[in-house]
Structures are given as structure tokens and as C-alpha cells.
Amino acid sequence: MKGMTIIVKTICGWVKVLIFLFGINIILFGHLTPGGGFAGGVILASSYVLMMLAFGREFVEKNLPIPLASRLDCFGAFLFAAVAILGLVFGGTFFVNFLYQKYLPGHALHLVSAGTIPLSNIAIGLKVGASLFLAIFALSAFRKDFQRPDAGGDNKRPVAGQE
Amino acid sequence: MLYALCFLLFMIGLYCAVVKKNLVKIVIGLAIMEYAVNLFLIMLGYRVGGTAPIIGRGDIQAGAERLTAHFINSAVDPLPQALVLTAIVISLGSLALLISICIRIYDKYGTFDITEIRRLRG
Amino acid sequence: MAIFYILLFFMVIAAIIAVETKDLLGSVICVGAIGFGGSLMFLLLYAPDIAITQIVVEVLGLIILIRATISRDHTFITGEREFFGMVVSVAILLVIFLAGIKVFESLPPFGTPIFAKAPEAPSQTYIEKGLADTGAANVVAGVILDYRGYDTLGETTVLFTSILGATVILRTRSRKRLEEPDT
Amino acid sequence: MSRVLPAFVVAPLVMAFILPVFGRKGKAVATLLANLVTISLLALAVACVGKTGIYEVGNWSSRIGIVLVLDGLTSLMLLAVNTVSAAAMLFSVRYMEQYTAKTKYLSLFLLMVAGMNGVVISGDIFNLFVFLEIASIASYALVGFGCEHEELEASFKYMVLGTVASSFILLGIALVYGNTGALNMAYTAKAIQQTGINAGLAFAMSLFIAGFGLKAALVPFHAWLPDAHPSAPAPISAMLSGVLIKALGIYALSRLIFNVFGVSVPVSWVLIALGVLSMVVGVFLAVGQWDFKRLLAYHSISQMGYVVLGIGLGALILAKHGNPLWASLAILGALFHLVNHAVFKSLLFLTSGSVEMATGTRQLKKMGGLVERMPYTRAACTIASASIAGVPPFNGFWSKLILVIAAVQAGFFGLAAITVVVSLVTLLSFLKVQRYVFLGELPEELQNTRENGGSMLIAMFFLAALCMLMGLLVLVPSLRVTVLQPAVDVLIEGVSHSMKVANL
């Protein structure tokens, strides 16, 4: 897979940035407007998937941070659990919205409001973006072996992004 | 009637998952079932002439920190929407896992046809 | 109201084509049509959050599904099906369907949700107090991340689990001898 | 004590999020941490016995938020889940050295434990579904962990049927929500009490029976189990047969039937029919098997039949307003058999894994004479076989005896006779296992077989000791009153129990 033509590659290079920014926007304003961590995270992942489709797998393997994505996957999930546990530490109960109720009420309908909800959105966005990117990468990285179905199971190149 | 159509969609998915012999077709059937259930949940919360459960500037009474009666009496049910958001993500996750098992099976057997794959019998 | 019927008919027809066509790629594209019909429907049912999520998830889901079907050969299904088994299963499913249709008459009619009538339904509280309780203007965000945040922890975990599972299933070597070091 | 409830879910979850980062360099540390988590959860579960209470997540009242519930049934299930998971995790330390990607295995294992604990402690129908999905998806991936032909195929079959079951359950939840407007179990139960069972709720109930029946592999829905359970690595087979089908299938189903919908005569007859079918079909399919783990898997179906039969019998007596003493006895037998089965079936799967690892085969005909080579495994296997077949001093005998007494007292002599006959066939089948695996001639190829040491033996001894001692749970009155009787009472009290818990 060498990727597509130079026109597609150039346009994707620009569009990727726009999609990425849109994803961040969706995540940050998730508590005020439709959207949120999941939708935004999937959009973040799709900006990288676009790169993968346009430039081919080798480019992605070389230039994009695959091990970082698998770390981010774990880190995002951990961050969300940590927000919940912080509720236990500061608010006395698991999952309490301690920021909103005690420390930082913010103003309704402003970006800084709703306490831990934007934080959770960011954590979920990170986690979803990283993990879906990883999933699609793993699925397409398997492609080489996919073309010769009867090959044995032992002489294959390892899938990147794993240990 | 709308509910029945939605249930028809569910049954089409179930038919596809149970009867078809192709691995990808089975996965497609499962996906259709999940769409139908999600749609059904959202339809349960619909209100004729309603509004989305998202508070804008116009929905807060001027001066007082209270919501207008219009919003309270017309917002659709937010709970099924929260449930469906969860269900969509769950179905995306299981789709990814199913497809990776499919690809792996294709890699081993060279076919998606379930009748050629059957080594085990239940 | 008519628009809902049109969209649902469209989805049902797309589903029938997706199930019955012999071309796997065509069938995957029909699934995409169902998904986009569904997300339009979510939008009209005043669920913009779900519409956005559905549409982006749909795009990624289609990429995943197409990934499975493009294998240069074998996108067409060949071969006979067992006629008898099919008839029996269709008959069973038809019975379930006919039994199910009556069931929906017990629900409140479309457009009048249950929570408006049940005094103890949580949804009324979410709408009235959501902004004051959680500070989130998007009541759905308030529900998924505060009132029912524990569910969302579970949901994140499901995604984590399935992606971890997918990488485990797609790893290239699975067994080794005991003395051998890890690869 | 209900303050610690979230720990049952959060501790394994957080550890599962951290473990994949370790990679292969930190494998030993990761294994140690995972074992620490399962063992401390077991300690916590023991500490929770006899306590009750609720935990309101996020400080929201139970009407609008999610509650976690600790009652007799919950603490019994927590005890079963965490006992088996601690033993299986200990067993994995050495057994999983055969496979690659051990840290990912540990992470998936902990996710499965978290899912089951989450199902057991949840007091909210949709939350139960979410955690059921976590446990199921982790188990689909673990069944295919070996990535060989049979394993992938079994995993695919299991996952398709499991996803169909999940869709059924979700549709059932949607119908319940559409009829009652609530998701909390207590409020749902209250709303159902007020409206009565209408067509929608009856359909939801049948969807739940089909969905959870698929998860529990009761007989018309059992097609996936004999493939999936043998294909998984041995500790995972022990978890799947030992606790997963119970926590996800039988626990969830009986919680919904007894505490949310309320018992009714038709549902009880359906349960009894499912139970008898599973018992009989499972055991007769098992007799003809020559694959060690497959034989054990069919026996799981059969033994689950006992549990469902007992629960159905109790429900029938309650629904007909019969003598509550006999209903209580039937349910006591069922729940006790559930816990016993968790222990002896996971022990059997662990011994089969030990034998497979030492000999490299699962075919009974290729083995023989292992009594000299693997004396400890043999001892453990004999104890577990005696338990499952209902030989007197061991735990399986007592639970089967209680079930038979309950059936006779309630006037179902036919059911009592079937129970006894199935038990005899089980005994025959396990005599076959003893004869072909451990007695007889030692084949040439197996001359170099050696006993597996270390953690695997400790795990097997732990479960074998439990097999011998658990009869005391019914024989010693004080133990029975603190451990088993509260669980029985939860089901006997039915709908009023969930009202009482939520202070309605």
C-alpha cells in the first residue's frame, strides 16, 4: 500500500487538521452543546484514520505514534476512573461531582461550568480516540497475512502496537 | 405502528444472524439488531412538538435562575438518550472484536462460509 | 409524523437488501444506509447528541466492516442454502414477530413518553433540576457523566475491553514452549 | 460495610487499565499485582458476609442515580466469584507461561472479574446490562486467546450467540422502561406492582428468559457452551463454567424474576422445564464424550439444570402460596448447589488443565496410569469427581440431598427420581474419567510426564479443601444462618425485599 495520489495526500494533510480541531471543539463543549467525549473522540480517531487511508500503512507505522496511542488508551481510561475516585476523596462518595458542588461552581452556560463533567469528557475523548485509532490500525496491519490465507501461523511479522 | 416497524427491523437482523451462513452477513445481522433496539429506546422518549434536552439562553427565565415552563413541558426524555449513547459505544466495541475474529478466521481457513469452517459441533 | 414512517420504511428496505444481496460490499453499504437513516431519525426525534455519535460511529464502523470484506476475492456469496432449515427458522421468527406486535399496544402511544405520567420517573427530575444539580446545560451530558456516571465508566471499560481483545486476537504468535522467552 | 462496595469493581478495573503498560519486562510484577488484587477482593468478600446496605453512587438518591446493593444473595455470589477468581488467577501464574501476551491476559481476566462483581452488586437494570457486557466481551476475547482454529471458531460462535442474547436483554430493558419509566430495581418493582403484568412486561420477561438463558447455556440455548468452555485456557474454563454462567445467567435471571417482576406460575413451570431438560440432555451428551474438557463442559449444563430446577420449584411453591418452608428448602438447595458447583467444577477444570499441560492431550483414550506420575492432581480430581457425583461426605451430596428432599416434600416425586437418576449417570461418567486418566496402563509417550508444581498445586489444594469442608455450611447452624439463609430469604421475600432495601 503506497497510498493515494499526491492531490489526495495534500488535501488530507489540510483536512486532517480541521477534523482534529473540530473533534477538540466537540469534546470541550460537550457539556453545553450536543456532542461530548465519545463523538469527539471518534472524530479525533477518524482524522488519523484518514491519514492512514490516504498515505498507506507504512507511512503511519513510521510517522505516527503507535506506542503512544496504546499508552494514551490506558491513560484515558485511568484518568476517567481517577476522576471518579477523586470524587470519593474530596466529596466522600464515589463519582461525586466534587468540583461543581464544592470548589468551582462556574457560571451556567459558560465553558467553565459543570465541575468534573468537562474533565470526564476530555478523559473519554482521549481514550476513545486512541483506542479506535489503535483498533483500525491493528485491523489493517493484519492485511499482509490476509492475502495468503493458507500460510502457517508462525512466520508472520508482529503487529505493531503490541508489546 | 412505528414501534412495530422498528420491531420488524429487529427481526430482520435476527433472521440474518440466525439463518445466514456467511460470517460477515452474521455480523451485519447483529449490527441491524442493535440499530433497531437503539431506535426503539429513543422513540420511547419522543414528545410530539418537543425540544431537544439541551438548555440554551432562551430557556432560562430572565433575572431568575429558573428554567422556563416551556422547556420543562416540552423537553424529550434525556434518559433513553443517555442509555443509547452507552449502547452505541458497546455495539461499536463488539463490532470491532467480531470483525477481528472474522479476519483471523479468514486467515486460518481462507473462507467466510460457516459450512466450510465447521470443525466443532455443539 | 409521516417523515418517521418514510425513514423507517427506507431503513427496513435497506435492511432487507443488506440481508438478501449476494454482494458483501453492497450489503455493507446498505448497512451504512441504515445507519445514516437512523441518525437522521435521531435528529428528528430531538436527540442531536445521539445523531452526532451515531454518524461518526457509523463512519468508523463502515471502515471496519469494509476492511473485513475487501479481500480481493470472495466478495460474492455462492452455494446453496438448506431450504428446510430456513423455512423452519423463518416460521419461528414470524411467530415471535406476530406475538411481539401485540405487545407494543401496551406501551403509551408514540409521542407521549411514560415519564410525563409517572410521578416518580427520574427523567422529570433530570429536566427540571439537571442544570442546578450538575451545572451542565446539555442535560444528556449531565445524565451520562454525573447522574449515571457509573454506567459511563462501564461503557468506557467495554470499549477498552473490546479493543484489548481485538489486539489479543490479532497477535501473531499465541503459544510458545515453556523454556522459551517471550517474543 | 456497604462503603466498600465500589472497591469490588474499581480495584480490578484500575489494575486492568494499568497492567497493559507493563509489557513483557514487567511481567512478574504484573502477575504479582493481579494476584494481590484477586486475593484482597476475596478477603473483602469474606468481610462482607452477613452485612447489608446500599451505596448511592455520586450521592444521588436511589430514584435518580445508580445504587449498589449489598444483601444476602449479593454477598453469597461475591464470595463464589472471588473465591474462584483467586484460585484461577493463582493457577494462571504458571499455566499461562505457555502463551504470549501474558499482561494482556491478566488485564482481560481482571476486567472479567470486575464485570461479574459489577453485575452482582448492581441495583439498577441498565447498569447490570453494562457490566454484563464487560464480563461477556472479556470472556469472548479470552476464549479465543489461543488463536488456533477451534478456539477462534468457538469464540465466534460464542460471541454471536452472546451478542444476540445481549440484544434480547437490551430490548427487554427498553420494554420495561417504556412501561414503568424507571430503571432502578426497587422503583421498577413498585411500578410493576401497581400496573400488574401487562403484555409488554410479559414479553420483556420472555426476552429476559431467552437472553439470560443463552448466557447461562440452559438446554435449548446451550449450543455455544460445549465449544467455548473447552477451547479457553484452563483457568478461564474454570472461571466460565465456575462462575460466569451463574453470575451472568442464573443470578441475573433469578434477581429479575423474584425481586423485580414477582413470581408467577407460568414462569416457574418454564424454569422447571428448562432445568429438567438441561439436567437430562446435558448428562446424556456428556456420557459419550472422550475429550476431557468437553465432558466437563456438558456436565456444567447438567449441573446448572439442578440449580434452575431448584429455583423454579421454589418459585412454583411461592406462586401457588404453598408451604414457604419447602420453597425455602428448594431455594436453599439450589443456591447451595450453585456455590458447590462453582467450587468443584472449577477444580475439575483446573485439574484437566494440569493434566493437559503435563501430557499435551485432552483425549481420554490417549491417557492412562497417571496416578503414579501426578499423585496430587489425581487426589484433587478424585475429590472433585466425588463431589460432583454426590458421594456422601463431600459438598455436592448435601446440596443434591436437599433438592431431593424439597422435591419430595412438595409432592414432585417424578422430579426427585430424575434428580437421583441423573446423579447416578454423573457418577458413572466420572468413574470413566478416573479409569481412563489415572488408572490403567501408562502409555509409552507419557513416560516422562511430571507433576506440575508451585502455584498450580496451591490453587488446586485450596479448592479441594473447600470441597471437603463446604458441607459444614449446611450442617453447622450458625454458618448456615450467616451465609446461606440470608441469600435464600432475599429470594423468598420477593418483591417486598427490594422495596425494603430502598425504603419504599
Chain C residues closer than 8 Å to B72 by CB: 127-128
Which residues 41-100 of B are in CB contact (within 8 Å) with A?
A: 52, 54-57, 60, 65, 85, 88-89, 92, 96, 99-100
Under 8 Å CB-to-CB from D281, ≥6 apart: which residues? Answer: D219, D222, D301, D302
Structural domain range at position B33: 2-47+67-117
- Output the nine-digit C-alpha cell for D225: 457452551
Residue A162 maps to a domain? no
For residue C133, what is the nearest residue in chain D, using CA coordinates?
Answer: D60
Nearest CB neighbour to C8, from listed B5, B38, B101: B5
The identity of residue C111, as a single letter, is G
pLDDT at C177: 63
Complex ipTM, two decimals?
0.91
Query: What nine digits make up the cell of C71?
Result: 479481500
User: Quick check: A95 and D57 CB within 8 A?
Assistant: yes
Q: Sign of the CA dihedral D382, D385, D389, D391?
A: positive
Contact A117 C63 (CB under 8 A): no
> Chains with ≥3 Cβ pairs under 8 A against A?
B, C, D
Q: Would residue D220 count as lying in a domain?
A: no
Structural domains counted in chain B: 1
How far apart, in Å, are the Cα atoms of D458 and each of A109, D351, D452?
A: 59, 12, 11
Q: Could you tell me if C178 lies within 8 Å of chain D, comparing CB atoms?
A: yes
pLDDT in tens, C52-91: 889 988 888 888 888 777 754 555 555 555 677 778 888 8
C144 touches chain D (CB under 8 A): no
Residue in A121, A132, A140, A148 to test binding to C, most C beta-carbons within 10 Å = A132
CB D33 within 8 A of CB D14: no
Stretch A55-75: mean pLDDT, rounded?
79
CB contact under 8 A, D187 and C147: no
Which of A109, A137, A140, A154 to mutate: most B Cβ within 10 Å?
Answer: A109
pLDDT number for residue A159: 39
Distance CA D52, CA D74 (A): 9
State the average pLDDT over residues B24-34: 90
- D371 part of a folded domain: yes
- Output the pLDDT for position C179: 57
Q: Is residue A151 part of a domain?
A: no
Residue B74 is assigned to a structural domain of this protein: yes
Return the pLDDT at C183: 45
Task: Identify the band that residue C180 occupies on the pLDDT scale cut at 50, 70 and 90.
Answer: low
User: Is A155 within the bounds of a domain?
Assistant: no
Task: Assess A106–C contact: CB distance below 8 Å, yes or no.
Answer: yes
Task: From chain A, pick out residues whose CB is under 8 angstroms from the CB of B101.
Answer: none
Question: Which chains share 3+ C-beta pairs under 8 angstroms with D?
Answer: A, B, C
CB–CB contact A139 B106 (8 Å): no
pLDDT for D139 equals 93
Higher pLDDT pick, B114 / D88? D88
Q: D227 and B40: CB-CB below 8 Å?
A: no
**Alpha carbon of B25: minimum distance to chain D alpha carbons (Å):** 11
Nearest neighbour of C138 by CB, restricted to A33, A46, A158: A33
Q: Is residue D358 part of a domain?
A: yes
Higher-scoring residue by pLDDT: A101, D141 = D141
Structural domain for A135, as ranges: 6-146
Please write down the long-range contacts of D218-221, taking CB distance under 8 Å and 24 or more positions apart. Answer: D218/D249, D218/D274, D218/D275, D218/D277, D218/D278, D218/D301, D218/D304, D218/D305, D218/D308, D219/D274, D219/D277, D219/D278, D219/D281, D219/D282, D219/D301, D219/D305, D220/D274, D220/D277, D221/D161, D221/D165
Is residue D293 included in any domain, yes or no? yes
B82 with C148: Cβ contact below 8 A = yes
Instruction: State which residue of chain B sits closest to C21, comparing Cα positions.
Output: B25
**What total number of domains does chain A contain?**
1
Residue, of D81 and B115, whose pLDDT is higher: D81
Query: Chain D: nearest CA to C155, how far in angstroms?
Result: 7
Contact D153 B117 (CB under 8 A): yes
The parent domain of residue D344 ranges over 281-470
Confidence bin at A149 (pLDDT 50/70/90): very low
Least confident of B8-17, B102-111, C170-179, D8-17: C170-179
* Any domain includes A92: yes
Nearest CA in chain A to D56: A93
Confirm if D492 and D327 have CB atoms less than 8 A apart: yes
Chain D residues lying within 8 Å of A88, measured CB to CB: 6
Contact between B120 and D154 using a beta-carbon 8 Å cutoff: yes
Given a cut of 60, is residue C144 above it in pLDDT? yes
β-pair partners for B3? none
Which DSSP string do the residues of A40-107 spell out, in sequence order?
HHHHHHHHHHHHHHHH-HHHHHHHS-HHHHHHHHHHHHHHHHHHHHHHHHHHSSTT--HIIIII--B-
Cβ-nearest to B99 among A108, A132, A139: A139
Residue B62 lies in a domain: no
Nearest residue to D429 via CA among D240, D291, D230: D291
Quick check: D337 and D306 in contact, CB under 8 A? yes
From first to last of its 504 residues, what are the pLDDT tens digits of chain D?
Answer: 678 888 899 999 999 998 888 877 788 888 899 999 999 999 999 998 888 888 888 888 888 888 899 988 999 999 999 999 999 999 998 888 888 888 889 999 999 999 999 999 998 999 999 999 999 999 999 998 888 888 888 899 899 999 999 999 999 999 999 888 888 888 899 888 888 888 888 899 999 999 999 999 888 888 888 888 888 999 999 999 989 999 999 999 999 999 999 888 999 999 999 999 999 999 998 888 888 889 999 999 999 999 999 999 999 999 988 888 889 999 999 999 999 999 999 999 999 998 888 888 888 888 877 878 888 888 899 999 999 988 888 888 999 999 999 999 888 899 999 999 999 999 999 988 888 888 877 777 777 777 777 788 899 999 999 988 888 888 888 888 888 888 998 888 888 888 887 777
CB atoms within 10 A of CB C94: 12
Candidate from B44, B94, B105 with C-beta closest to D152: B105
Nearest Cα to Cα of residue D109 among D26, D24, D232, D25: D232
In sequence order, the 6+-apart residues with CB closer than 8 A to the CB of C109 are none
Total domains in chain D come to: 1
| Structure confidence by residue, pLDDT tens digits, B43-96 | 888 888 788 888 877 777 766 667 777 777 788 888 999 999 999 999 999 999
Can you tell me the mean pLDDT for B98-104? 88
pLDDT digits (tens, 9 = 90+) for A20-59: 899 898 888 888 888 888 889 999 888 888 888 788 777 7
d(CA B88, CA B95): 10
